[in-house]
Chains A and B, each alone.
Chain A
Amino acid sequence: MAAGTAMSSYWRGLRDGLPFLAVVGPFAMLFGVLATESGLALHETMGFSVVVIAGAAQFTALQLINENAPTLVVIASALAVNLRMAMYSASITPHLGPLPIWKRAIAAYFLVDQTYAQSVLDYERNPDQSPAEKFAYFLGVMTPICPPWYLFTFLGASLGERIPPSLGLDFALPIAFLAMIGPMLRTPAHRIAALAAVVLALAFAWLPFNMGLLVAGLGGMIAGAQAETRLGIKP
């Protein structure tokens, strides 16, 4: 495979990942601010963002630390929030599986909601890419998402300035995900999967440790697969 096509895949990924910077920036800063307010030292706050690199799980852990929950409860709860990552890993394996193990390890480390969802959206739109091009695209998407995650955590932790809550910055994350859902609804099976998942997510939102998300995710996947088989939809 020519290096040129991998390079252009990288740049294409970078361009597609760029809008997420507007989400990751405020979100990471907020984590930095809240962690500092909870009494974490700068290197401890950075440790979270670099070692764990998972927004929702980090916020969960921080909240439980503040509530003086036992260490084991903190770990188990935050990992439960991250269980969806195993589903992402399975879902992206048909695309990145042929890569050498060290590249798969790099992809695994950077596998977060945004890098996963944007990459899979592109792989489905352009199915003729080689694994190397798909990996280059993934790294492109990751570039404006993961390094800024560290950088803005650092800024939030060191500046410690409050982010004004009035402008609805909390809603940047849902907006970013909502923007991706429309383009994902390519076939009736995709629409059925999304609809089933939304209904289940709302019905099971009361489950502890974010388990409702897993019920909804699995339910939506089953609904999509069933629809594909029964309606004879070409994936």
Chain B
Amino acid sequence: MTDTTQLWIIIIALGLGSFGLRFAFLGLVGDRAMPEWLLRHLRYTAVAVIPALVAPLVLWPTATGGEPDATRLAAAAATFAVGYLTKNVFAAMGVGAAVLVSFSLLL
């Protein structure tokens, strides 16, 4: 087990580092105009990073030791479908959670 001093070194370094990453552009670029080619790429940050973050978690959930799981796949498909069709984040989460819980209780 890491001792207390080391632990606080880790916490503070992670805090400073994480803030640095988050402040990098917001703080240093601020109001200055960014080139159009960069803006064009940045428009797709969320729609690229969020699906990339989720895809492995859906296909290989940590809770099942990385084995694909019918309940989680069904909940994922339902959530995405409702979100895509209704454009309503709230409804999509609700349906996804309902599918997840009902399948977990049934199977």
Contacts and interface: CB of A to CB of B under 8 A. Distances in A.
B89 A97 contact: no
Contacts of B62: 170
Nearest to A58: B14
A171 B30 CA distance: 36
Interface in B23-70: 23-27, 29-32, 34, 37-63
Given A172-B97, A175-B96, A221-B45, A228 B6 contact: no
Interface in A48-87: 48, 51-54, 57-58, 61, 65-66, 68, 71, 74-75, 78-79, 82-87
Given A178-B54, A201-B55, A83 B39 contact: no
A96 B56 CA distance: 31
Nearest to B4: A44
- Which of the four size classes fits the interface of chain A? 35 or more
Given A54-B18, A168-B101, A221-B42, A179 B93 contact: yes
The secondary structure that dominates the A interface is helix
A184 B62 CA distance: 26
Given A44-B11, A182-B80, A205 B56 contact: yes
A51 B10 CA distance: 11
Contact of B22 (A111, A166, A196): A111
- Which of the four size classes fits the interface of chain B? 35 or more
A85 B38 CA distance: 17
Interface of A: 16, 19, 22, 38-40, 44, 47-48, 51-54, 57-58, 61, 65-66, 68, 71, 74-75, 78-79, 82-94, 96-98, 101, 104-105, 107-109, 111, 113, 116-118, 120-121, 165-168, 170-185, 189-190, 193-194, 196-198, 200-202, 205, 212-213, 216-225, 228-229, 235
A221 B41 contact: yes
Given A85-B18, A91-B46, A104 B83 contact: no
Contacts of B10: 61, 65, 71, 74-75, 78
A216 B52 contact: yes
Nearest to A47: B11
B64 to A, nearest CB: 9
A224 B44 contact: yes
Contacts of B56: 201-202, 205, 212
A121 B46 contact: yes
B88 to A, nearest CB: 7
A71 B6 contact: yes
Given A198-B52, A219-B48, A82 B18 contact: yes
Nearest to B43: A235
Contact of A78 (B14, B49, B63, B75): B14
Contacts of B27: 101, 104-105, 108
A113 to B, nearest CB: 7
Contacts of A202: 55-56, 59
